[in-house]
Chains A and B, each alone.
Chain A
Amino acid sequence: MWKTLRTSWPGTKPTASPTEGSVLDSDPSLNLPTSEALHHLEKRTRALGREPIRYQPGEQLLQEGVANRSLYILMKGEVLLSKKGEDGIPRELDRLGPGSLLGILSFWTGDPSFSDSHAVTAVECLALDRPLFDEGVAGDPEFARRTLHLLVANLSDRYRRVVGLNLRVASLTLDLEKERNALREAVADLQRTRNQLVHKEKLATMGQLLAGIAHEINNPSSSLLNSVGNLGRELPKVFETDPVLLHAFQQGQDSAYVTPTESRERMDRLATSWPELSRSACRRLSRLTEDVLEQVEGALQGGWTPRIDEWIRAFELGGALHSIQLADERITRLVKSLKSYSRQDEDTSSSVRVGDCIRDTLVVLNHNVKHYDLRMDVPDLPSIPGKPGEINQILTNLITNACEATDAGKRISLQAGVGDVHLFVEIADEGHGIPEDLLDRIFEPNVTTKSGGGQYGLGLGLAISRDLAMQHHGTLHAWNREEGGAVFRLELPLT
């Protein structure tokens, strides 16, 4: 049997027995010869006085790079062809069985052997050197015909295999290209995931920092609040003996903030009523509540007395205490917002008050938001399942985006509401809107409308926001308003 030679190449006809006739009139199927044909060759060779050569397994027949003068016809056994690669390591080329020719190239061209060949099993072959070959061919047309047939069959077999190899290489190249593209995509995917992770990690770190800062501020703020409480209780006792000063002090404590415009109007009025008063005196009087001012103006008829100074001092003391209280309340609110805003990862709570999230986020983003005409329409919202830290993150992204897209002073509207199954938060700006060609892709990672480097413009904010919305079984959509600017709508299920 032909062990490795392919006789079943697609398109080949079934093996036909070689037709007898002239040399050129050989078997058109070009298949390898039958053992009968080999037997004829052996007989003829023997008749010319040449015995077949035998090789033991492992024995070398031809050596790569060494001259060869014979054409070997393999009669029995199996031969391994190998060739050294550029690295000097031999690579198996082929395994040949009976009927195969060895040394075709070197025999015909005189070049050194193209490859190494070793016997795999016990091998028997005919070795025809040039004189023997010529003699054999000359004396026996049948020998010539059969040798030629053998040659053509061997060569055509090799040619088929080359074509087959080429096709295989082409198909492998295609596979390789596909694999390379897949790999490239996988790398890009990994890069995106990595960026998202880094971004999340950054936010988590920021959250921890915020929580730390909130905690650090909380302590002095608490002690401040405590002291102010004490002062509020103790100071009135100082004025106990003087009900007028006590009244002024209490009025100071109740005084409301006076805008610069109001303050100017009051000072103008005072300057007109009391032309002899200095501007600084007018300013001090302008801060008094109407109640106290009326009393002081009554006393002023007799000119500015030290008593009036005392009056104002008591009032301002009350006012200062009030300011400290207000400022401390503000710090307390800020700390509270920072704390609840920064609950990002250790977020164990399972329900969200979205109204609180909006408030906390606006406190944290106040330095940004205060440049805009912020319109709020946020009714009481029910608690819904979810993580406050993540809702804060979505809101932060949306509000920051709105600010960055919008010129200072223009309007940003924040509207919330409750439907049958969802509650929604809609953030509309008067900015440059989303470019039409990005509308479909705006939530994909690495898509950004922000040019220039800087801390923003990573193109991850919206991608992460939509992820977070989806984790809450909600949706996040965007569109452009006809009158300009963009709208982002977050919808979250109520249950």
Chain B
Amino acid sequence: MPKVYMLCVEDEPDVLDSVVRDLEVLEDLFPVEAAADAVEARNLLEEIHDRGDEVGVIFCDHIMPGESGVDLLVALRQDPRFAYTRKVLLTGQAGLEAMVKAVNEARLAHYVSKPWEAGELVWVAKAQMTLYYQERDLNPWPVLSGLDVEDLEDLMARHEADGVTD
């Protein structure tokens, strides 16, 4: 059974650190990876994919040195390996144009504006992971505590036989 990762991309070290710390509570269900820019993010995505694992949610800043967050998300949307990855923009300053592009071309799943509230990222991560598991039809049982169970009855029923172990 592949592991489903959460990937955080943010150039500000402090902010990246807080994102990772916030998501850490889900880490044993969904491993967290962190990247300081788009290049590092792409390398990590390759690595994860090469290991046979998946990226369920990507939390991405927009304004970063080099490739912008929105451009990275658009590229991922076009990459069949990561087309289903739930894309969350985590930013303080994305202009309207960038937002439109993100929604239309990257199929943006959620927008978190900085600063976010305590627990908000975990709540978003769970909701997005739930959608990812549904779309990919993955067995939710091993990671049930990291998902929104009330939305998952069908999927749970379908994977009843798979059980909680892989």
Contact = CB atoms under 8 A, between A and B. Distances in A.
B65 A279 contact: no
Interface string B55-88: 0000000011111100000000000000000000
Contacts of A326: 14
Interface residues of B, number: 24
Contacts of B13: 257, 259
Interface residues of A, number: 20
Contacts, number: 49
Contacts of A371: 63-66
Interface stretch (B25-33, B126-134, B149-157): B25-33
A451 B63 CA distance: 23
The residue among A280, A323, A372 with the most chain B CB atoms within 10 A of its own CB is A280
Contacts of B64: 370-371
Nearest to A372: B65
Contact of B66 (A279, A323, A327, A408): A408
A448 interface: no
A230 interface: no
Interface string A247-289: 0000000000101110110000000000000111001100000
A257 B13 CA distance: 8
Contact of A367 (B24, B36, B63, B66): B63
Nearest to B26: A280
Contacts of A264: 33
A28 interface: no
A409 interface: yes
Interface in B85-100: 93
Given A280-B28, A283-B27, A370-B65, A327 B14 contact: yes
A101 B63 CA distance: 92
A320 to B, nearest CB: 10
A408 B20 CA distance: 27
Nearest to A282: B27
Nearest to B32: A283
A280 B66 contact: no
Interface of B: 11, 13-14, 16-17, 20, 24-25, 27-28, 31-36, 40, 63-68, 93
Nearest 10 pairs of A and B residues by beta carbon: A280-B27, A260-B34, A278-B28, A280-B28, A409-B66, A370-B65, A257-B13, A279-B27, A279-B31, A371-B65
